[in-house]
Amino acid sequence: EPEVTQTPSHQVTQMGQEVILRCVPISNHLYFYWYRQILGQKVEFLVSFYNNEISEKSEIFDDQFSVERPDGSNFTLKIRSTKLEDSAMYFCASRGDSTSYEQYFGPGTRLTVT
Amino acid sequence: GQNIDQPTEMTATEGAIVQINCTYQTSGFNGLFWYQQHAGEAPTFLSYNVLDGLEEKGRFSSFLSRSKGYSYLLLKELQMKDSASYLCAVRGGGFKTIFGAGTRLFVKA
């Protein structure tokens, strides 16, 4: 069964460093998402991406964040200068087409900023 | 504002039935989802409702009333493995999906 994959599973970084979280969505899917979940808190929408551009973003997704689909298979989230409060689980998700509703989540990357 | 409310915790007995309620206020509505999330894992899709009424899928059913901004998830024949958080989420007017804080369900023997 096709699945969304994410690497790395756990990333530790120092405050102020840049990190890139990687996702490989399901191959024929067209819509891509990033969410984050701070430990013990709710899942929060960050950004959606369709047709090679951001379709919607939340207030959390400020200039520190960027997304890219560099090669037709990978979907990345870059955090430019990490802060302690960026420590969270980051989930990538993908959805098929405009007629499909289910988002398939990847296993997540746990980001720890020290 | 946009808000999704669901109870923080519930406890039920193995073999019983439990109903988890969710009320929402969002700008725009393109469907309501229920996800299951075990600790440290990703959410997994359970159900989707976009029209009023009940959707049944095995031991799980989900109900929606758009006029009341209300949904519930019904779990029958509870098993120990059903102990998890259940997340109510609403897809608003665009691409954004807003999640509730989740209801932690404890199933006891």
Question: Which of B37, B43, B96 lies nearest to residue A56, judging by beta carbons?
Answer: B96
Nearest to A62 by CA among A50, A54, A71: A54
pLDDT value, residue B1:
67
pLDDT value, residue A71:
85
Residues of A with CB below 8 A from B33's CB? Answer: 101
pLDDT value, residue A99:
87
User: What are B78's strand-pairing partners?
Assistant: none
Q: Report pLDDT digits (tens) over B55-105.
A: 999 999 999 999 999 999 999 999 999 999 999 999 987 788 999 999 999
Residues of B with CB below 8 A from A91's CB? Answer: 42-43
Q: Report pLDDT digits (tens) over B6-48.
A: 999 999 999 999 999 999 998 889 999 999 999 999 999 999 9
From its phi and psi, is residue A98 left (phi > 0), alpha (psi between -120 and 50) or beta? alpha
Q: What is the DSSP string of B51-99?
A: SSEEEEETTEEEEEETTTTEEEEEE-S--GGG-EEEEEEEE-SSS-EEE
How far is it, in rounded angstroms, from Cα A67 to Cα A44?
16
How far is it, in rounded angstroms, from Cα B53 to Cα B51?
6
Closest residue in B to A88 (Cα) is B40
- State the nearest Cα–Cα gap between B27 and chain A, in angstroms: 14
Question: Which of B31, B42, B48 lies nearest to residue A105, judging by beta carbons?
Answer: B42
Residues of A with CB below 8 A from B98's CB? Answer: 45
Nearest to A46 by CA among B86, B40, B96: B96
